[in-house]
Amino acid sequence: MERISMIADRYSFKEFNQDLKFYNPINFKGYEEKIEFERKKTGIREAVITGYGTINGYGCVLIVMDSNFMMGSMGSVVGEKVCRAFEAAIKKRLSVVAFTASGGARMQEGPVSLVQMVKTAAAVKKHSDKGLLYISVITDPTTGGVSASFASLADIIIAEPHAVFGFTGKRIIEDSIKKELPDDFQSAESALRNGAVDRVVGRDELKAELAAIFSLHGVWKHEYSRKVANRSKPIPAECN
């Protein structure tokens, strides 16, 4: 929620799909207790929050991952929330901005968690086919199945300074190839030099950067945006 308060205009954010039902697809022992512990620890119900919001008046759908919840791992509920976020954006013809922070697939869900990679990638494709803008913001760290799916499929990929962005961890790769990798391997700056990200932007400049991208890409300030921008009270019911 701190991230959302930094990016979204005041009172503009309206969360959706926060109550998706949790289930244990492979009956992993202790998984239900772990989820309940994470919910109490973080105050959120899953590793991602999704909703409508505005950024300097530009309406969009926000996807915000929280690494404090099981290291932002992507299980079936996280994958479903991401897909529903893109579907909501298609319905309202809105851009999507995703803030990723993840250790990858959630091992407690086995192959079900891996399926979420294909599922979220398909959702991105449907959104793209409608000619809508998708911006991915890589935060520290973004790895595993999230980095290999919707995080890296955006029209524009922005990374925060020094964020780790890659699939497999550096130590595992070094053990596999028996070679020492550069100190900045998988850093945002290295990804920028090698074309994996488009920009590295500090957190204090990020909101203005996103608004500038919306403007440059001809994103209109939708009716939803006009109703909530610069308001001093919560979003009216007709915008929900």
Domain locations along the chain: 2-239
Report yes or no: 127 and 96 within 8 Å, Cβ to Cβ. yes
pTM for the model stands at 0.90
Would you say residue 224 has pLDDT above 80?
A: no
Residue 15 has pLDDT above 60, yes or no: yes
Pick the CATH number of 2-239 from 1.10.510.10, 3.90.226.10, 3.40.50.300, 3.40.50.1100: 3.90.226.10
Reported as a pLDDT band with limits 50, 70 and 90, residue 229 is very low
Separation of alpha carbons 215 and 219, rounded Å? 6
User: Mean pLDDT, the chain, as a whole number?
Assistant: 92
What does the pLDDT read at residue 170?
86
Higher pLDDT, 228 or 48: 48
pLDDT per position as a tens digit, 159-186: 999 999 999 888 889 899 999 988 899 9
Among 178, 70, 85, smallest CA distance to 124 is for: 85
Please give the pLDDT value at position 219: 79
Does pLDDT of 226 surpass 80?
no
Mean pLDDT within 144-151? 97
